[in-house]
Amino acid sequence: MNCNNLKIGALVLSATVLAGLFGCHSSQPVVNVESDLDFCHGRVTRALADLTAGDSVDYTMIPRNIAPGDSLWTLRPAVAEEWCSGFWPGVLWLDYEATGDEEVARQARNYTDALASILDRPVFDHDLGFLMFCSYGNGYRLTGDAHYKDMILRAADSLATLYNPAVGTMLSWPRNVEMFGGHNTIMDNMINLETLFWAADNGGDQSLRDIAVHHADTTMKYHFRPDGTCYHVAVYDPETGAFKRGCTHQGYADGSTWARGQAWAVYGYTVVYRSTREQRFLDFAKKVTDAYLSRLPEDHIPYWDFDDPSIPDAPRDASAACVVASALTELIGYVDNETASRYKRELNGMLLSLSTDAYRPTDNCRSALLHSTGHHPAGSEIDYSIIYADYYYMEALNRFAKIKDLSNFASL
Ligand code: GLY
């Protein structure tokens, strides 16, 4: 057995204990989470050094991606029509969580504060949840700053204005109603339910919880095929609420399974079960997870769309693997022992693959991961480093590092 010892705070877990905890087979070592978080810290601090060099730092310019072969983050304005601005402050908060580095925390605050003006306008689209919860949400979780809490509560109220009670879901893209021929809800929107549940549990209106539960139930009813795979987009009649069709925007075809869409479903229903403890949501979280896992290639990292006919020559999407890995660190705490053992092996396999040279950039590159795919049909960010892959990778590693026994998972 080639399992390294793992130090978690003051606790040193032996290879044997970890092997038992993760159902580690003799051929599969346990991921070395401490070393992986150290590696991420190195990438984060180098990127921060680039971004904060010079006399004046523009905190409104936020890392988004790195093209294949390049090494520096391409920046985008934080408060334009950009859905990824919360991930870089989130990466900094997650790095601070792992290392306790106060300079990283100081910069996490600066980048988080740069997003404030997003709330000064009516909600642009459903991505408000991603934007505010990855930044302010992590900031509040780690510092307890009351201002951050207030910002998340405001974000939840704003997000809720996208809810259509006739349909039972939040509208994802107001600007695309005509293009899709109705009220469009994309699977990614499941991630925003965490903001609503959190707000309802932390002083916000209880209607936010009702909206989140209705959204999850409606999505469960219409957005999936019988085998548990999902459409990217569900289109509804905004007046009657009738389901009109399932289709894609970022996937290969309407009938295909876009890997990150399925990953959002895994993460989303895990959060919904955490927040409701309703058995139907746990059953469904398992169903969509099994649909995802059953289609993975040997190295546990999905092709960008499970049905791209050019597989095995199609690009991968490491970001989807990171989203699922992070969700699995929690889901293994809710499921029966046999399922948990299976999911632990998959989780370990995903994190191991992501730490190999196949997915890890060379030393000069500022990101932690290669090989994510953003919007393949638009020819955008194909086989790139993308900031949300790093975010969910670091979230998965941080959560993994806290695994001591299964009973503490619900508090993560
Ligand atoms: N939410 C957009 C994406 O996953 O690409």
DSSP secondary structure string for all residues of 265-288: HHHHHHHHHHHH--HHHHHHHHHH
Given 101, 113, 125, 188, which residue is catalytic?
A: 188
Which contiguous run of DSSP H or E holds residue 184?
Answer: strand 183-186
Q: Is residue 60 a contact partner of residue 79, using CB atoms and an 8 Å limit?
A: yes
Please report the DSSP string for 349-384 in residue order. HHHHHHTSTTTSPPTT-SSS---B-SBGGGTBSTTB
Going from the first residue of the chain to its last (412 residues), give the mean pLDDT of each consecutive group of 10, the final group possibly shorter.
Answer: 33 44 61 96 97 94 97 94 96 98 98 97 95 98 98 98 98 97 98 98 98 98 98 98 98 98 98 98 98 98 98 98 98 95 94 97 96 98 98 97 58 34
The SS3 call for residue 170 is strand
Q: Is residue 44 a contact partner of residue 36, using CB atoms and an 8 Å limit?
A: no
Q: How far is CA 398 from the centre of its chain?
A: 13
Q: Give the single-character DSSP code of 6.
A: E
| Per-residue confidence (pLDDT) for residue 1, from 0 to 100 | 28
Cα 249 to averaged position of ligand 1 atoms, centre (Å): 10
| Per-residue confidence (pLDDT) for residue 27, from 0 to 100 | 59
Cα 12 to averaged position of ligand 1 atoms, centre (Å): 38
Q: Give catalytic status of residue 38 as yes or no.
A: no
The SS3 call for residue 255 is coil
Domains of the chain, earliest start first = 3-409 (1.50.10.10)
**Would you mind telling me the total number of residues written for the chain in this entry?**
412
Using the atom order of ligand 1, give the atom closest to the CA of residue 250.
5
Cα 268 to averaged position of ligand 1 atoms, centre (Å): 13
Q: Give catalytic status of residue 127 as yes or no.
A: yes
Q: Best substitution site from 260, 372, 381 to test ligand 1's pocket, by max atoms within 8 Å of Cβ?
A: 260
Q: Best substitution site from 81, 83, 173 to test ligand 1's pocket, by max atoms within 8 Å of Cβ?
A: 83
| Per-residue confidence (pLDDT) for residue 404, from 0 to 100 | 63
Q: Which residues line ligand 1 (CB under 6 A)?
A: 83, 188, 250, 260, 374
Max Cα-Cα span within the chain: 61
| Per-residue confidence (pLDDT) for residue 28, from 0 to 100 | 72
Cα 54 to averaged position of ligand 1 atoms, centre (Å): 33
Looking at the DSSP bridge assignments, the partners of residue 128 are none
Which contiguous run of DSSP H or E holds residue 319?
Answer: helix 318-331
CA distances to 68, 327, 379, 402 from 24, in Å:
33, 19, 39, 18
